[in-house]
Amino acid sequence: MPVEAKVGPSILNADLSDLAQESQNLLNNGADYLHLDVMDGHFVPNLTFGHTLVKCLRNKIKKAHFETHMMVSRPQQWIEPMADAGVNLYTFHIEPVMDEVNDVCRKVRESGMKVGLALKPGTDVTVVQKYVDSADLILVMTVEPGFGGQSFMSNMMPKVEWLRENYPNLDIEVDGGVGPKTIEACAKAGANMIVSGTAVIQAPNQRDVINLLKSSVQKYTNKACTHAN
């Protein structure tokens, strides 16, 4: 069964004072899910928002798929609050909890959420071999986590290629500097879940950009499916 192409705009670049409406607009324009960047000011130097805001957003947007990208030093601390806030997919960085990844995965799953594992650019992709059976998704960061608007790191694409080659049915997400100019590289490498911030949020026509990103991925997933047959 081929993986599905999905686009999840990062709302970090949206107008946070009108987040519910901005998020709804993205969904109306074809977004498959919302990517919520949670930063603690410790694992990364920036500070964004926490479970209380996510819960408020869930109260306004009942049915959308929420992914929280937990750029935090203690991901286990926020599992229950985020589950209570209505998060569907809890993606956390393995770097600060390298010896506890399987335990954190188990707790996330027990809370009713799906599990995502995120890798910083400097982290070797092969470390996920120990944990991939516990995960629903692997996120390959294509910028250093912590700030929006950074340039896409094309040298991360071999990580995506390695994951797709070794785990053909895995959801592989890319995040950072992804937009119309860089989507081809991501799609060709094998990413099927696309996080895009500025390129979608600030686009004159969000629907057109979302459609372009998704169709680029579908082109390569369809090719992979054809070759498999």
Active site residue 37: yes
Question: What is the tens place of the pLDDT at every residue in 30-55?
Answer: 999 999 999 999 999 999 999 999 99
Report how far residue 69's alpha carbon sits from residue 93's, in angstroms, rounded to the nearest whole number.
8
Q: Looking at the DSSP assignment, which residues form a beta bridge with residue 69?
A: 37, 91
Catalytic residue among 37, 40, 136, 171: 37
Report how far residue 36's alpha carbon sits from residue 140's, in angstroms, rounded to the nearest whole number.
16
Strands 171-175 and 6-9, bridge-based pairing: unpaired
Name the CA dihedral angle for 131, 132, 133, 136, rounded to a multiple of 10 degrees: 120
Active site residue 175: yes
What average pLDDT does this structure show over 16-40?
96
Q: What are phi and psi of 95, to 5 degrees?
A: -55, -45
Domain ranges of the chain: 6-228
Number of Cβ atoms within 10 Å of the Cβ of 69: 27
Catalytic residue among 32, 136, 171, 175: 175
Domain 6-228 - what CATH class? alpha beta
Question: What is the tens place of the pLDDT at every residue in 112-160?
Answer: 999 999 999 999 999 999 999 999 999 999 999 987 678 999 999 999 9
pLDDT band at 222 (very low <50, low <70, confident <90, very high): confident
pLDDT band at 225 (very low <50, low <70, confident <90, very high): low
